[in-house]
């Protein structure tokens, strides 16, 4: 049986390997595989299947609504009326939100490669030992844990 786990490259990885060795898992049954980060740049547009939790429409819609309400409210006092000033506020808010998304999106996506370096830890053990291995992995903050028979 194989127990798979994922760690960030940190002191916890060294500590979990040491704890596994102290609990009877030999060096030949533990493998640490560093994962290569992809250098492929993600697309700006949103997609249902590849969403990252960052939507391009959200800031534009929020600021567009706020600016439209403010434009309509102040439009009662201005010459062109509330409808035109509401539409002008909507356009200004959407444009401002889109520009802010582009600025913030470039800041997030232009991180240097390797900032999220992950290491896959593979432990070859018997099924009875897997419970002990999983307990040790949880103790040292493994990101993910899985079993493979």
On whether both 66 and 101 belong to a single domain, the answer is yes
Read off the pTM: 0.51
Domain holding 7, by residue range, is 2-34+117-148
75 inside domain: yes
Give how far Cα 90 sits from Cα of 57, 60, 80, 85, Å. Answer: 13, 9, 15, 8
> 100 and 128 share a domain?
no
Say what the pLDDT of residue 112 is. 53
User: Is residue 48 in some structural domain?
Assistant: no
Q: In this structure, are 64 and 88 located in the same domain?
A: yes
Write the DSSP string, 19-70: HHHHTT--GGGEEEEEPPPP-PPPPSS--SSS--S--SHHHHHHHHHHHHHH
- pLDDT of residue 113 exceeding 80, the answer is no
Same-domain status, 61 and 105: yes
105 & 124 share domain: no
**Same-domain check for residues 70 and 98:** yes
CA distance 79 to 60: 26
Whether 61 and 88 map to the same domain: the answer is yes
Look up the CATH number of the domain holding residue 18. 3.30.70.120
Structural domain contains residue 47: no
82 within domain boundaries: yes
Considering the domain boundaries, does residue 22 fall inside one?
A: yes
Domain count, the chain: 2
More confident residue, 60 or 10: 60
Note whether residue 143 is domain-resident.
yes
Does residue 140 share a domain with residue 124?
yes
- Same domain? 89 vs 124: no
| H helix or E strand, kind and range, residue 121 | strand 118-124
pLDDT of residue 55: 66
Q: Are residues 82 and 98 in the same domain?
A: yes
pLDDT band at 114 (very low <50, low <70, confident <90, very high): very low
Rounded CA gap, 79 and 45, in Å? 38
d(CA 61, CA 90) in angstroms, rounded, equals: 9
Reduce the DSSP state of residue 104 to 3 states and report it: helix
Residue 51 lies in a domain: no
pLDDT band at 2 (very low <50, low <70, confident <90, very high): very high
């Amino acid at each position: 049986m194989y127990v798979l786990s994922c760690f960030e490259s940190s002191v916890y990885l060294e500590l979990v390997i040491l704890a596994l060795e102290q609990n009877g898992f030999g060096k030949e049954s533990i493998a640490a595989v560093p994962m290569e980060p992809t250098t492929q740049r993600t697309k700006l547009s949103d997609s249902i299947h590849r969403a990252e939790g960052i939507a391009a429409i959200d800031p534009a819609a929020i600021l567009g609504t706020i600016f439209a309400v403010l434009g309509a409210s102040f439009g009662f006092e201005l010459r062109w009326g509330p409808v035109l000033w509401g539409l002008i506020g909507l356009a200004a808010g959407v444009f401002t939100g889109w520009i802010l998304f582009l600025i913030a999106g470039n800041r997030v996506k232009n991180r240097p490669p390797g900032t999220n370096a992950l290491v896959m830890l593979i432990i070859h053990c018997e099924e009875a030992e897997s419970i002990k291995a999983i307990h040790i992995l949880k103790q040292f903050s493994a990101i993910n844990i899985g079993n493979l028979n």
